[in-house]
Chain A
Amino acid sequence: MTTPLILGLLAGAILSGTSLLYATLGETIAERSGIVNLGLEGILLIGASVGFSVTAASGNAWLGLFAAGMAGGLANLLFGWLVVTRKANQLASGLAMMFFGFGASALIGARYVGAVIVGLPKWRPSWLAGFRWVKATTLFNYDLLTWVAIPVAVLVWWALFRTRWGLGVRAVGESPAVAFAAGRNPAVLQYQALSCGGVLGGLAGAHLSLSLTLTWSEYMTAGRGFIVIALVIFSKWNPLRAIAAALLFGGAESLQLQMQARGSLISPFLLDMSPYILTLIILVAWGGSRRLAAPAGLGRTFYGSE
């Protein structure tokens, strides 16, 4: 392989890995509190469409980004109302959220199909632009979300493992009864975790439409939400491992694009499938792992202490 190919791959991995990472971090926080949102795909779509529409309408990508984060947070609060307050089944509610996201995003984005926007500004530190190979790629030419992605992952890790709040969230995810006995309010902690997760999911969606594609099209997330749910498992519910997981999958996506662009002999259908095949392989390889660190209360409903 040539240097440009490798650098191109890396650049692509980072670009598509960014939104995967934000979504993985968001889902990790939610799952740490014991709630799995299978409807993450819907949250991503809502983030992408709200971000795009607001940007197109206002001409300000920052406003779009902000709106996308809010919309993601609100959508997850709605999900929280279903599964925490109404105690509905998490898996069924998650699927309902996904279809809700499909519909809502199509509705929101309908007026802006084909619109042209100025996306999130990108910049590359000038001292890096001097390298010949760097110049030829998008390497180090990033928007804010990409630049702060790794610090955000570290921040999420810190919040989960080094703060009182994070200890409470993890306790609820393991055993709501113990958290309740410790004087915490399980429902409040789960709502907090879900809203953080939703904001990150919304930003992840917005990164797709405001930075990667610069267009809106229905179902543009193409299953990323489900890949992310696998990534959370792959990263063992750990935000720092999520960095590596997101890069790996971003790499798979960008490899597929590079191969297609270069007219590879491999069937394009097979190439399209490659990230999902990777997902399957990883689930198979890690599924039975004993050291799997799933929160013990994941997916369970807490009916209170009576």
Chain B
Amino acid sequence: MSSPLAAPLVEIRGVSKRYGAVQANDVVDLSLYGGEVHALLGENGAGKSTLSRILYGFTRPDSGEIFLNGKAVDVHSPREARSHRIGMVFQNFMLIPALSVLENIALFLTDLPAVLRPEAVGKRIFEFGERFGLTVNPHAPVRQLSVGDRQKVEILKLLLAEARILIFDEPTKVLAPHEVDALFRVFAALKAEGFAILFITHKLREVIRCADRITVMRQGRVVGGFGSGQADVETLVTMMFGERGEIGATRQAGATRRPAEARPILELRGASSHATGSETPLRGLELSIAAGEIVGVAGVSGSGQKELGDLILGLRSLSAGSKWFCGANASSWSIARMRESGVAFVPEDPLVMAAVGGMSVRENLSLGTGRRYRSGVRLDWSALEATMNQSFEALAFPIPPLDPPIGALSGGNLQRVVIAREMAHEPKLIVALYPTRGLDVRSAASLRHLLRRARDGGSGVLLISEDLDELAEMTDRLLVLFGGALVGAFSRGAWQPEEVGHLMTGSKEVNVA
């Protein structure tokens, strides 16, 4: 039954969806077979999430049909989809922060009894977690979880709902490598049971590793497909971006060596912070970022990355030690002052920390620009737009429509807007947490290119990432964060991934240089 030659489990035929001026899906056809992982690729804004929301009944298409086992069905709400055993992990999480993990998962159970039995649900969460390597504490409130843990809860939610058609919209975006491995083992188990998996991601190597079939979308249309083993990264990229595909040009590596006496832009001296709930306290950080260097921070999620970023920006106060910015003691500076002095900040979760979902893209672009565009009591919108347009151009990002609410942008487009805004004013220091998360390969490449250019122009960059390849390509120095402390420091090219991996998981300690 799991042979791809059998009839498809799901057939999407001629689905279209328009949002204002944007044709998000344009007569899309797609088939999913039982027992296969079907990867859906495409640049940011190509229409992948829209298509999957339509299959899940969350969004109504303007036209088109969906067939299950050859029969036309009307999936007009998630309830309908769930009764057909279709399930979905949303790109922007569908979780309620105020409720516990257990309640969030229970909400999505199909066989939840009228009277809740929390122990029974807890036991199932535990069993599934053990079986698939996705352990979370069922009693923690979701608001206290790191993004990685939230992603795990989303996946568990879907697994426990017993779907047989599973849609995963960028599930690996925030997962650490070993968690991605665990997810692929889940895929294998689901495949073996004859289930169909639709898998959306921007990480092409993952696709080549685990997909049985690949479909590529561009500007709302399906532009091609491959069977497993038929495609390599180059082919996929060309198909995703069409003629504009070459990303190799920006991939020049090699750091211009910084002068040894470069002045430090940011220094942390013995910086510590308190923590509440599930936060990680920072413990005596010694960190210096000089003009003209990119300092990378590696670590598994929840090691204090978010806290480190917040501490530098001034969202979190120091409990001990001091913070210095361009030679001045900045320990008690406000966020506004840090920003006005030239700090750009790309946070871990842009929709929560850097954008107001209900406000227009234009208004969001003006956030955090301080007094720069103030003329009298008004804001000089045309000057703001001109600067932002330049910034989008420098990044080779397409300029999004400015009037719709930013919450309506695709996940990657939202990330682009935040980045363009932060990079617009020639920052002295760039603090970027997982900046390429959710970006398609081309946007990610041009962001890396821009970070390098900023470095060469004398900015300091702190790049916090989980992606060791990215860190290897980008950084002049690499630090390893574990449990809120820096446990390793390496200069460019002087580290082995295994060694860093050990440090990241705390299985070994090295003297901090």
Chains A and B bind each other: yes
Chain A interface (Cβ within 8 Å of chain B)?
162-165, 167-168, 170-171, 174-175, 177-185, 293, 295-296, 305-306
CB neighbours of A180 from chain B (8 A): 58, 77-78
State in angstroms the CA–CA spacing of A175 and B107 once bound together. Answer: 12
Q: Looking at the assembled complex, report how far the CB atom of B157 sits from the nearest CB atom of chain A, in whole angstroms.
A: 9
CB neighbours of B508 from chain A (8 A): none
Give B64-96 as 1s and 0s: 1 = Cβ < 8 Å from A's Cβ atoms: 000000000000011101110000101000111
Contact status B107-A306, CB under 8 Å = no
CB neighbours of A178 from chain B (8 A): 94-96, 107
Going nearest first, the 9 A-B pairs with the smallest beta carbon separation are A183-B79, A174-B96, A183-B82, A181-B94, A182-B107, A178-B94, A182-B108, A183-B78, A164-B112
Asked if B103 lies at the interface with its beta carbon under 8 angstroms from chain A, I say: yes
Q: Looking at the assembled complex, report how far the CB atom of A182 sits from the nearest CB atom of chain B, in whole angstroms.
A: 5
Chain B residues touching A, majority SS: loop
Asked if B60 lies at the interface with its beta carbon under 8 angstroms from chain A, I say: yes
Q: Who on chain A is nearest to B118 by CB? A: A162
Q: Looking at the assembled complex, report how far the CB atom of B199 sits from the nearest CB atom of chain A, in whole angstroms.
A: 19
Q: Looking at the assembled complex, report how far the CB atom of B359 sits from the nearest CB atom of chain A, in whole angstroms.
A: 15
Number of chain B residues whose Cβ lies closer than 8 Å to a Cβ of chain A: 29
Q: Who on chain B is nearest to A185 by CB? A: B79
Contact status A162-B97, CB under 8 Å = no
State in angstroms the CA–CA spacing of A18 and B243 once bound together. Answer: 74
Q: Looking at the assembled complex, report how far the CB atom of B138 sits from the nearest CB atom of chain A, in whole angstroms.
A: 14
Contact status B59-A171, CB under 8 Å = no
Asked if B249 lies at the interface with its beta carbon under 8 angstroms from chain A, I say: no
Chain B interface (Cβ within 8 Å of chain A)?
53, 56, 58-60, 77-79, 81-83, 88, 90, 94-99, 103, 106-108, 110, 112-116
Q: Looking at the assembled complex, report how far the CB atom of B419 sits from the nearest CB atom of chain A, in whole angstroms.
A: 26
Contact status A305-B99, CB under 8 Å = no
State in angstroms the CA–CA spacing of A184 and B88 once bound together. Answer: 15
CB neighbours of A185 from chain B (8 A): 77, 79
State in angstroms the CA–CA spacing of A24 and B277 once bound together. Answer: 31
Contact status B58-A167, CB under 8 Å = no
Given known A-B contacts A181-B90, A185-B79, A168 and B59 have beta carbons under 8 A apart:
no
State in angstroms the CA–CA spacing of A174 and B113 once bound together. Answer: 21
Pick the contact of B97: A177, A296, A305 (CB < 8 A): A296
Pick the contact of B94: A167, A177, A295, A296 (CB < 8 A): A177
6 pairs, CB–CB < 8 Å, chain A vs chain B: A164-B115, A171-B96, A174-B98, A178-B107, A183-B81, A306-B60
Q: Looking at the assembled complex, report how far the CB atom of B288 sits from the nearest CB atom of chain A, in whole angstroms.
A: 35
CB neighbours of A296 from chain B (8 A): 96-98
Chain A residues touching B, majority SS: helix
State in angstroms the CA–CA spacing of A286 and B108 once bound together. Answer: 34
Q: Who on chain B is nearest to A168 by CB? A: B107
CB neighbours of B96 from chain A (8 A): 171, 174-175, 178, 296
State in angstroms the CA–CA spacing of A184 and B112 once bound together. Answer: 12
State in angstroms the CA–CA spacing of A167 and B83 once bound together. Answer: 20
Given known A-B contacts A164-B113, A165-B114, A305-B58, A182 and B95 have beta carbons under 8 A apart:
no
Pick the contact of A181: B58, B83, B113 (CB < 8 A): B58
CB neighbours of A175 from chain B (8 A): 94, 96
**Max chain A Cβ within 10 angstroms of own Cβ: one of B53, B90, B98, B114:** B98
State in angstroms the CA–CA spacing of A188 and B403 once bound together. Answer: 33
Given known A-B contacts A182-B107, A182-B108, A305-B58, A170 and B116 have beta carbons under 8 A apart:
no
Q: Looking at the assembled complex, report how far the CB atom of A79 sits from the nearest CB atom of chain B, in whole angstroms.
A: 25
Contact status B99-A171, CB under 8 Å = yes
Pick the contact of B103: A167, A179, A183, A293 (CB < 8 A): A167
CB neighbours of B115 from chain A (8 A): 162-164
CB neighbours of B81 from chain A (8 A): 183
Q: Looking at the assembled complex, report how far the CB atom of B422 sits from the nearest CB atom of chain A, in whole angstroms.
A: 27
Q: Who on chain B is nearest to A177 by CB? A: B94
State in angstroms the CA–CA spacing of A168 and B113 once bound together. Answer: 12
State in angstroms the CA–CA spacing of A296 and B78 once bound together. Answer: 22
CB neighbours of B108 from chain A (8 A): 182-183
Pick the contact of B106: A167, A183, A293 (CB < 8 A): A167
Pick the contact of A306: B56, B59, B94, B99 (CB < 8 A): B59
State in angstroms the CA–CA spacing of A40 and B107 once bound together. Answer: 30
Contact status A305-B116, CB under 8 Å = no
Q: Looking at the assembled complex, report how far the CB atom of A186 sits from the nearest CB atom of chain B, in whole angstroms.
A: 11
CB neighbours of B88 from chain A (8 A): 181
State in angstroms the CA–CA spacing of A305 and B78 once bound together. Answer: 11
State in angstroms the CA–CA spacing of A163 and B99 once bound together. Answer: 14
Given contacts A168-B107, A181-B90, 20 further A-B contacts (CB under 8 A): A162-B115, A162-B116, A164-B112, A167-B116, A174-B96, A174-B98, A174-B99, A175-B96, A178-B107, A180-B58, A180-B77, A180-B78, A181-B56, A181-B78, A183-B78, A183-B79, A183-B108, A184-B107, A305-B53, A305-B60
State in angstroms the CA–CA spacing of A175 and B115 once bound together. Answer: 22
CB neighbours of A164 from chain B (8 A): 112-116
CB neighbours of B103 from chain A (8 A): 167, 170
Q: Who on chain B is nearest to A184 by CB? A: B79
State in angstroms the CA–CA spacing of A127 and B103 once bound together. Answer: 45
State in angstroms the CA–CA spacing of A40 and B323 once bound together. Answer: 53
CB neighbours of B98 from chain A (8 A): 174, 293, 295-296
